[in-house]
Chain A
């Protein structure tokens, strides 16, 4: 399985923020969730991948090519959706099709109208008169209609209602089914990622905390809820992060503590992605 996207030691500094030596790879046929709190550096990273901003250091490869030197054919295979509508608001569904069929050689008009119908997007009104959710859906349809191999999505599910989010997630699963297509998907809604992501990449304060297989992430970690006295007895080398609460301590630990917790009758459970993210961000590491 080769990598469709490779990010190596990428750094970018601003006056009050710095993305530091971020490295990870997205294999073909996978969905990668990019998580982190607001201001963590997700959008900076996506803008760097898309060559919208110039990185200070490192290299980024898309389809094995330097991201700043993508060929026209390579760009045909890249679909991007931002967290806001970027399509001209005065155009309707048909006009959008008329524009993009002249931009993408691989534009599939039949597919376009079929997804429009599937997503229940009103086709008679202009983009500007649509709800925010429908606007994002049209952007997603455009990205899917030219048969991309890599979809880069920046916080798009936040604008969708729960039913539509489910439909969109089903489309994502279908998209990666042929094991050639991949998705890099930044989202605050970690439950979406629990449903579809194969890999989770976590960025905090411009630094990469981890980039790993989602199942391993959830299987290899425990969320321990215990009293302070119990926490004091735990082997701290297995504790990733913890937070003191009024009624005890919540700790994220390696599952090597599982047997100890079972023996000592300490409460533990499998953590959610959100719990991992919050503990690492706000807890003591």
Chain B
């Protein structure tokens, strides 16, 4: 058997420019939960003991470190915990190795991210608890707002590019202060 070595998607040190900070984020397991047609009630039953509910579009359901984040029609990602058995209510697939995450925080975080993500990310339009699918540059991303700032999920193979793109935006925003 070959010996496999687990490597992080990003080994960058935290980056600070002006009032914005970016960190690589470790999320733990990620499981896609895709509802079978008409199984909303059955899924709600499975999620109830976990203290979660299936999120409406552009939102998430959280219980401590475990969150269920909307990622598409009848689909959500369970992040930070092992998936329960959904039986015939939903199809689950392990997405842990497919995604990497960045945390962007600080007073200028929204201003920085709005240079790459074509959405109004200011707090009044995009408050904590929002989770959307949106492009970051030309990359498909999941953008989550929580109390600590923004959590951005990006395809693992593209996360270094995303880091570079956001770093560029951080530098230009910081230079304008």
Whether A and B are associated in the same complex: the answer reads no
